[in-house]
Amino acid sequence: MLAITGATGHLGQATIQSLLLKVAPAEIVAVVRDLTKADGLRQQGVQVRHGDYNDFDSLVAAFQGVATVLLISTSEVEFAPRVQQHQNVIDAARQAGVPHLIYTSVLNPSRDSHFAASPSHAATEDYLRASGLAYTLFRDTLYLDLVPEFAGPDVLPSGKLYSAAGEGKVSYALRIEIAEALANVLTSTGHENQTYDIGPGPSYSARDIARTLSEVTGQPVEYVPITTDALAAGMRGQQVPEPFVNLMVGIVKAMEAGELESADPTFERLLGRKPTDLKTYLTTVYAK
């Protein structure tokens, strides 16, 4: 059996839907904190088990009889509780006798990264390697799905795309295709103790995104660089909570520093085809 943590989240749901094309529903264990949110999965025949990242015993129970656990990283922002939650899953998998754990990390994880989540990913990777479990590290880039959010709702009406990422480039990937690649790894062999960088080329800067939006929509879009202070001030003006302001500032600093840029062929190999590129995706979002 294959257990997916965070199974009612976006990536968890998408991974399960890809798995359902490959294995019987009864072979999938959806590990969820809130059982009431998993009715749709249960109706599809998926096993639904309660498992809370903060409740070690619930995780041990959820992982009984499981061959592989997919640990989808928690949405917790703060370093210490985030790492503890991940360690709970790893320790519970080991106690339950699970032989293999796949972890969704991030490109270039580092304790010195600008990206606030990166240090916790680095710490989790170290803990997983030392756990004795067979592991697979799935180092995800930023979702291509986030580009319209980064561009903002006024990008077309104003004809301006504001960004504090400078000329930094990112190797984006669609979330649904990352989920498909995860399902491929979960249902095939030879992935033990492997590290996969999910950062396909080409990579794109904010200027590239503005240029591509112009091509796709036929409407001129100008890239306007701004400072991180201006970005933070604008978010605070919209009453965005401070932890998320800091998170976004860190993300754009990581973009500018090239922490999320890659041109690795691994994603295409695991997916089994070329991943969706920026222009194709933006055409589906913006073209009329």
CA separation (Å) from 157 to 126, 151, 154, 221?
Answer: 46, 12, 5, 9
- Amino acid present at 239: Q
Domains and CATH numbers, the chain: 2-140+174-198+262-271 (3.40.50.720)
Pairing of strands 68-71, 194-198: unpaired
10-residue stretch averages of pLDDT, the chain, 288 residues long: 97 98 98 96 97 98 98 93 98 98 97 94 98 98 96 94 96 98 98 97 97 96 96 93 91 95 96 97 89
Sequence-distant (6+) residues with CB within 8 A of 126 are none
Question: Would you state the pLDDT for residue 287?
Answer: 77
- Cα 177 from Cα 192, distance rounded (Å): 21
pTM: 0.96
Q: Could you tell me the strand order of the sheet in which 134-140 lies?
A: 47-50, 28-32, 2-5, 68-71, 100-106, 134-140, 194-198
CA separation (Å) from 230 to 64, 162, 238?
Answer: 50, 10, 13
Pairing of strands 68-71, 2-5: parallel
